[in-house]
Amino acid sequence: MERLQKIISKAGLASRREAEKMIVEGRVSVNGKAVTELGTTIDIKKDKVFVYNKKIAIENMVYIILHKPKRIVTTLKDEKGRMTVIDLIKDVPERVYPVGRLDYNTEGLLILTNDGELTNKLIHPSFKIYKTYIAKVKGIPAEEKLDILRVGVRLEDGITAPAKVNIIEIDKSTDSAKIEIVIHEGKNRQVRRMFEAIGCPVRSLKRIKFASLNLDGLARGKYRYLSENEIEALQRMK
């Protein structure tokens, strides 16, 4: 069950506020009966909604979490013929879209949905939705270098917002370190470029958390639908 104004907004007919105005003005009907109460909820699988006497198409909202492997493209189609994330969810009947991107050689948590409103919320910088990555880098960076990332490092497209950075593991035999980094921005290849800027190029990168979601129990290359509680938690984020 969802609020009527939200359904109208998701159908692309109006913003949430404009949809509320339509309802109050009596321009919306459900199953042939005019509805003017803003608190009205409907079942998108059963109820028929009309706006200005025209039936609207109500799409079933789908929310998926995918454990993306390396060497998979985060697009709907690839002109080079490479495998895409959509190839991993072929049995999902609805047309869904990736929320943001993970580059070709990055693995980890990816959300896919057809909820445009939620997608905008999750990727828009103003909402500051945090994402956690585990990076294995060449070299063992001193704390002074990591402090640069914690304050903000200058890249060619501007200074990054402060990141949370912690060394998890050091391997002196291979001159490498495993580092957890948490950011809320979504610049192209941002994490890789941040470590390159301090002289520690990334050897492997994995996103393990996006907002309140993590990869617990989800094997590489597999996906699952989000629970109602998980969806509501994402929608409540401010």
**Which residues are known catalytic residues?**
103
| C-alpha–C-alpha distance, residues 32 and 196, integer Å | 61
In single-letter form, the type of residue at position 127 comes to F
CA neighbor of 192 nearest in space, from 104, 68, 100, 97: 104
